[in-house]
Structure 1
Amino acid sequence: MTQFEQLDTILEGQRGMLQTSEAVKRGIPKSVFYNYVKEKELEQAAHGVYVSPDAWVDGMYLLHLRCSQGIFSHETALFFHDLTDREPSPYSITVKRGYSTTRLKADGVLVYTIKPELHGIGKSTAQTPFGHTVPAYDMERTICDLLRCRSSMEMQTFQGALKMYARRKEKNLRRLMQYAGMFRVEKILRQYLEVLL
């Protein structure tokens, strides 16, 4: 198999998306990679990420590739957990404090920052509508994040999500209260839960 054929296989497997790092990992020189990109007229979608012109781009997966430490949160995490009927726009991610967010914000991404020690709490994975696996916060962490930012979001979005969460069989109230303590939203959460449960 030639190196171009290898790249064809990767491109097909990734649904029209190709990463420089993936090619290098498979022993394909960068010069060959860039010749391939030029010949196939791939478009640069982000640093080190190229897409074929006819590909449907998975925006969520692309954002994950651009910012690997970002975790989908807030309204985007609600969408992943079916706690909202609205498709997220713009996407919301949370990064560790100190991470440069300028380029992401310029591209319209809602970026939240948090202390490094709280960044990984509640991290799980979710499937994008295109079938890619990306990092996202679990339902309980998402509820706590929404409580922390309730002044900057629509009240009906938040209340609707909380009602849907309360009806879920797989909810974990013990975990929710544990997270609420860590994020200092325990008191306000109790007030909401008393009404709902």
Structure 2
Amino acid sequence: MTTNEKITSLFAQNNGILKMAKAMESGVPKSAFYAYVKKHGTERVAQGVYLSPDAWTDAMYLLHLRCNQAVFSHESALFFHDLTDREPKPYSVTVKTGYNPTGLREDGIKVYTIKKELHGVGVISMNTPFGNSVPVYDVERTICDVIRNRSGIEMQIWQNALKQYAKCQHKDLRKLMRYARMFHVEKLLRQYLEVLL
């Protein structure tokens, strides 16, 4: 297999989106990668991230590649869990306190920050509508997040999400209450759930 064939194969395996670092890990020299990019009209979509001309742009996956600590949260997580019928615009992500979110905010992304020790609570992998795996908070963490930040989220969106969650057959109320204690929304959550359940 030639170097060009190897790069083409790597793009195909990754739905047309490839990090240069991944190509180099596979033994592709940097100079050969740049030559391929130039020859094939491959677009640089973020630092070290390239999109083949025939690929669909998966904005959620590109955001994940650009900032791998960003976890889809709040309205974006509601979308992943089918608790809203609106596609989240702008996307909402949560990063660790101390990360500089200026670049993300300049690109119109809603960025929340949280202490390092709480950042990883409830992270799962889910697929974007294009089939790429990205980190998303699980449904119980998402419910706690939208209640904590309800003043910054349209009331109808978070109230509908709570109603949908209350009807959900796969809800885990023990986990929800454990998270609610961690995020200091237990009292508020109990009030809402008493009305809904």
* TM-score range relative to shorter protein: over 0.9
In structure 1, what is the Cα distance between the partners aligned to 2:24 and 2:10?
A: 12
Counterpart residue type for residue 73 of structure 1: S
1:111-143 CA-partner distances (Å, limit 9, x unpaired):
100000100111111110001111100000000
Look up the match of 2:175.
175
Corresponding residue SS for 2:54? coil
In structure 2, what is the Cα distance between the partners aligned to 1:144 and 1:15?
A: 33
Look up the match of 1:194.
194
Residue pairs, 1:99-114, within 5 angstroms: 99-114=99-114
In structure 2, what is the Cα distance between the partners aligned to 1:52 and 1:132?
A: 15
Counterpart residue type for residue 104 of structure 1: L
Superposed displacement of residue 12, structure 1: 1.8
Corresponding residue SS for 1:87? coil
The root-mean-square deviation of aligned C-alpha atoms, in Å, is 0.8
| Large movers: runs of 4+ above 6 Å | none
Look up the match of 1:27.
27
In structure 1, what is the Cα distance between the partners aligned to 2:184 and 2:17?
A: 41
Corresponding residue SS for 1:62? helix
Residue pairs, 1:30-179, within 5 angstroms: 30-179=30-179
In structure 1, what is the Cα distance between the partners aligned to 2:191 and 2:62?
A: 38
In structure 2, what is the Cα distance between the partners aligned to 1:49 and 1:162?
A: 37
Superposed displacement of residue 153, structure 1: 1.0
Superposed displacement of residue 13, structure 1: 2.0
In structure 2, what is the Cα distance between the partners aligned to 1:19 and 1:151?
A: 37
Counterpart residue type for residue 121 of structure 2: I
In structure 2, what is the Cα distance between the partners aligned to 1:157 and 1:126?
A: 21
Look up the match of 1:8.
8
Corresponding residue SS for 2:82? coil
User: Higher mean Cα deviation, 145-154 or 49-58?
Assistant: 49-58
Look up the match of 1:184.
184
In structure 2, what is the Cα distance between the partners aligned to 1:17 and 1:39?
A: 16
Corresponding residue SS for 1:57? coil
In structure 2, what is the Cα distance between the partners aligned to 1:151 and 1:58?
A: 29
In structure 2, what is the Cα distance between the partners aligned to 1:8 and 1:150?
A: 45
Corresponding residue SS for 1:174? helix
In structure 1, what is the Cα distance between the partners aligned to 2:184 and 2:194?
A: 18
In structure 1, what is the Cα distance between the partners aligned to 2:152 and 2:104?
A: 19
Corresponding residue SS for 1:94? strand
Superposed displacement of residue 20, structure 1: 0.3
For normalisation by structure 1, the TM-score amounts to: 0.98
Corresponding residue SS for 2:95? strand
**Structure 2 spans left out of the alignment, 5+ residues:** none
Corresponding residue SS for 1:54? coil
